[in-house]
A = this chain, B = another copy of it.
């Protein structure tokens, strides 16, 4: 018997957007059926249960969002890198074709206090962003572009809190303007640490 005839990558994209838009709790299997056009049994057979589908969504989100942001940090000039990082983040948040907010920030709000497995999975994505940022600040420091006294972990923490805050605020109409303002100015705040 052949596997169900649908484009797996396309369906994973739809599942991702659905969790991203509605959060974990409000994304019932009925909502996923409507979003993908597939019956629940096809979804379960292809992807596993709702938790497994959420994990696939996290993987997909990692590849289209997290990796894109981390790639901007692979530049020698920390000022340009941070400007590009926040510009890319704002572009994703304010993209009218994508759900608003951040899948990980939203999932973290809903699940961190309640689901150990998914909480750990999101913790892994957060650690990855943290480690990527710390590595970038350490690299700039080793190259003499960042002051010796600057603490890469602290600067990484500030970037991460900004990113998540913009994701949360960007979900409301009024917040979009705040995100635009903040994402434009925040990179300049790090100039005090540049050597």
Contact = CB atoms under 8 A, between A and B. Distances in A.
Given A25-B23, A109-B109, A130-B178, A165 B172 contact: no
Contacts of A155: 185
Main secondary structure of the interface of A (DSSP, over half): helix
B108 A171 contact: yes
A182 B165 contact: no
Nearest to A191: B192
B185 A158 contact: yes
Contacts of A178: 130, 156-157, 160-161
A119 interface: yes
Contact of A109 (B105, B114, B185, B188): B105
A100 B173 CA distance: 26
Contacts of A185: 151, 154-155, 157-158
A45 interface: no
How extensive is the interface on chain A, given as a class? 35 or more
Nearest to A177: B157
A151 B153 CA distance: 29
Nearest to A186: B158
Contacts of A127: 174
A5 interface: no
Given A158-B182, A182-B158, A26 B168 contact: no
26 contacts: A21-B113, A22-B114, A25-B26, A101-B112, A101-B113, A108-B168, A108-B171, A109-B109, A112-B172, A123-B172, A130-B178, A151-B181, A154-B181, A154-B184, A154-B185, A157-B181, A157-B185, A158-B181, A158-B182, A158-B185, A161-B166, A161-B178, A164-B165, A165-B168, A188-B192, A189-B192
